[in-house]
């Protein structure tokens, strides 16, 4: 969320930013919010004038009563009563205007970084760099569901009877591999100096609207019926929410956190071969990284964070690339975002496995996450988040890139970094 003063001082810049995001339907919000804010200032000024006048009259009433001038005092009391009614009406109008202003401000996109490429949608995202050679084995890679079934590692049919589409049972070596990847990712981030957390898996509505746009909330979040609670779609939500309405000494920054959680998502509109199987599902587990830092440090942390994901995936012998999200593919709160994509030898293309985002002070402004500088001045922190790993999607990349075939049976090579988490196993074999 932008500062209303910034919007009023830079309306054309804000409108140009909306155009860069190809969200022209939001252009009227800028003029509307300025008009609403001017109206609120008028109402506030009138209310302040009435309050000051009421205080003055109240003193005069006391003086008149002391002089025994009851009739004159009663006239003044009637005036105070009339003004009290007007004050209440003004206070109600002020509340309505504040709600309208906040609603508009929440919908106006954050100012994107100058380095972000301009484009309408994800088809115009820009490749930054590739890491590792694309694997192309001399045998046909089965569909990822078929790979898992060969290792007796997945049961979607039973899960469908229990919970419906978009759920699964992981079993045996595949389930162990899933847990091993998460444990390895946890320790990998701890070694980078991040503090490990297991956060709440539900959050209140004020946290939801603080960490994401209304469009994202509608597309992603499951609401708990009869409660002011939502299931988290990623632990970023509850981790950033941890700092709601806090004031932190600047000396404690940056705060670097890594968190594990299950994640729950509606996944509206999923389709295509990569959307079937376990690519897009309603429940999965994830290791996340979060940074809260000074504004001047946020871009440095942004580049560190996506590079950590690249380093982790390469340590598991998975080729990846980084892709910069263009302006039209950026969610409204984001200043800049990179996707880390893993190579799929089956599909002969890259697919997203991590998303690294710099949100500037947007979340901090919505949630009241402030910092007290050495000079005593207060300002809003910058927040960033990035996926470390999100199996089972990450398992697709792992299995396809480490799959072996001897002409009769399939096996999966376990990279050295992961072996301590797999009981020392170097390979797992087809059942």
Tokens (6 digits) for 12: 């054309």
Structural domains in the chain, CATH included, are 4-107 (1.10.287.40), 122-429 (3.30.930.10)
**Nearest-10 Cα torsion for 111, 113, 117, 120:** -20
Q: How far apart are CA 235 and CA 233, in angstroms?
A: 7
Question: Residue 78 — very low, low, confident or very high, per pLDDT cuts 50/70/90?
Answer: low
Helix orientation angle between 11-20 and 27-66, rounded to the nearest 10 degrees = 140
Residue 81 has pLDDT above 90, yes or no: no
Helix orientation angle between 172-191 and 298-315, rounded to the nearest 10 degrees = 140
Helix orientation angle between 172-191 and 393-402, rounded to the nearest 10 degrees = 100
Report, as an integer, the average pLDDT of 125-138: 95
pLDDT, tens digit (0-9, with 9 covering 90-100), for 260-307:
999 999 876 554 444 567 888 899 999 999 999 999 999 999 999 999
Q: How far apart are CA 98 and CA 105, in angstroms?
A: 10
Report, as an integer, the average pLDDT of 394-421: 96
pLDDT, tens digit (0-9, with 9 covering 90-100), for 30-40:
999 999 999 99
As a whole number of Å, the end-to-end CA separation of the chain is: 53
Report, as an integer, the average pLDDT of 18-37: 97
Question: Residue 393 — very low, low, confident or very high, per pLDDT cuts 50/70/90?
Answer: confident
Within a 10 A sphere around the Cβ of 41, how many other Cβ atoms?
11
Residue 154 has pLDDT above 60, yes or no: yes
pLDDT, tens digit (0-9, with 9 covering 90-100), for 82-124:
677 788 888 899 999 999 999 999 999 999 999 999 999 999 9
What distances in angstroms separate CA 182 from CA 31, 322, 427, one per listed residue? 48, 21, 18
Tokens (6 digits) for 375: 């000079």
The pLDDT of residue 137: 94
The pLDDT of residue 358: 98
**146 cis-preceded (ω within 30 degrees of 0):** no
Helix orientation angle between 27-66 and 70-107, rounded to the nearest 10 degrees = 160
The pLDDT of residue 60: 64
pLDDT, tens digit (0-9, with 9 covering 90-100), for 181-194:
999 999 999 999 99
Q: How far apart are CA 82 and CA 87, in angstroms?
A: 9
The pLDDT of residue 293: 98
Report, as an integer, the average pLDDT of 180-209: 97
Report, as an integer, the average pLDDT of 67-79: 66
Question: Residue 130 — very low, low, confident or very high, per pLDDT cuts 50/70/90?
Answer: very high
Q: How far apart are CA 278 and CA 270, in angstroms?
A: 11
CA nearest neighbour of 322 among 333, 344, 306: 306
Which SS3 state, helix, strand or coil, does residue 192 take?
A: coil
DSSP secondary structure string for all residues of 106-123: HHSPPPPPTTSPP-SSGG
Q: How far apart are CA 385 and CA 292, in angstroms?
A: 9
Report, as an integer, the average pLDDT of 144-168: 93
CA nearest neighbour of 289 among 352, 230, 358: 358
**Nearest-10 Cα torsion for 358, 21, 237, 202:** -170
Report, as an integer, the average pLDDT of 235-254: 97
Among 42-56, 83-97, 209-223, 352-366, name the most confident range: 352-366
Residue 365 has pLDDT above 60, yes or no: yes
Least confident segment among 260-274, 310-324, 380-394: 260-274
The pLDDT of residue 415: 97
Residue 80 has pLDDT above 70, yes or no: no
CA nearest neighbour of 210 among 181, 252, 175, 239: 239
Residues 6 or more apart whose Cβ sits within 8 Å of residue 100: 36
H/E element holding 317?
none
- For 133-149, letters b (16+ CB in 10 Å) and e give eebeeeeebbebbebbb
Question: What percent of the chain is predicted at pLDDT more than 90?
Answer: 81
The pLDDT of residue 431: 84
Report, as an integer, the average pLDDT of 174-186: 97
DSSP secondary structure string for all residues of 266-307: --TT--SGGGTTTTS-SEEEEEEEEEEE-GGGHHHHHHHHHH
Average pLDDT of the chain is 92
To which residue do tokens 């004020």 refer? 206
């Amino acid at each position: 969320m932008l500062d209303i003063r910034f919007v009023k001082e830079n309306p054309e810049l804000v409108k140009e930013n909306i155009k860069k995001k190809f969200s022209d339907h939001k252009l009227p919000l800028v003029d509307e919010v300025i008009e609403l804010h001017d109206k609120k200032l008028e109402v506030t000024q009138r209310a302040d004038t009435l309050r000051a006048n009421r205080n003055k009259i109240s003193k005069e009433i006391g003086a008149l009563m002391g002089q025994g001038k009851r009739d004159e005092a009663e006239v003044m009391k009637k005036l105070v009563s009339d003004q009290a009614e007007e004050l209440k009406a003004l206070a109600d109008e002020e509340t309505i205007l504040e709600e309208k202003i906040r609603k508009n401000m929440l919908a106006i996109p954050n100012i994107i970084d100058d380095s972000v490429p301009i484009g309408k949608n994800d088809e115009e995202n820009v490749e930054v760099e590739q890491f590792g050679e694309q694997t192309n084995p001399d045998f046909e890679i089965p569909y990822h569901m078929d790979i898992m079934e060969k290792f007796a590692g997945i049961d979607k049919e039973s899960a469908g009877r229990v919970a419906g589409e978009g759920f699964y049972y992981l079993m045996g070596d595949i389930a162990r591999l899933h847990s091993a990847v998460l444990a390895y990712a946890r320790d990998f981030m701890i070694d980078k100096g991040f503090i490990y957390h297991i956060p709440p898996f539900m959050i209140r509505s004020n946290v939801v609207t603080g960490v994401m746009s209304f469009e994202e909330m509608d597309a992603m979040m499951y609401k708990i019926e009869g409660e002011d609670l939502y299931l988290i779609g990623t632990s970023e939500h509850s981790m950033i929410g941890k700092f709601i309405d806090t004031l932190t000494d600047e000396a404690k920054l940056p705060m670097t956190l890594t968190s594990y959680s299950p994640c729950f998502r509606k996944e509206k509109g999923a389709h295509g071969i990569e959307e079937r199987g376990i690519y897009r599902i309603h429940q999965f587990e994830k290791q996340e990284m979060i940074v809260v830092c000074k504004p001047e440090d946020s871009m440095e942390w942004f580049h560190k964070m996506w590079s950590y994901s690249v380093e982790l995936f390469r340590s598991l012998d998975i080729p990846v690339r980084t892709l910069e999200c263009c302006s039209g593919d950026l969610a409204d709160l984001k200043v800049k975002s990179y996707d880390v994509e893993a190579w799929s030898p089956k599909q002969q293309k890259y697919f997203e496995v991590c998303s690294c985002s710099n949100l500037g002070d947007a979340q901090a402004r919505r949630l009241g996450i402030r910092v007290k500088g050495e000079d005593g001045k207060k300002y809003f922190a910058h927040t960033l988040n990035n996926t470390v790993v999100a199996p089972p999607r990450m398992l697709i990349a792992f299995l396809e890139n480490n799959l072996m075939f001897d002409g009769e049976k399939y096996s999966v090579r376990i990279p050295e970094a992961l072996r301590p988490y797999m009981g020392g196993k170097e390979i797992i074999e087809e059942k």
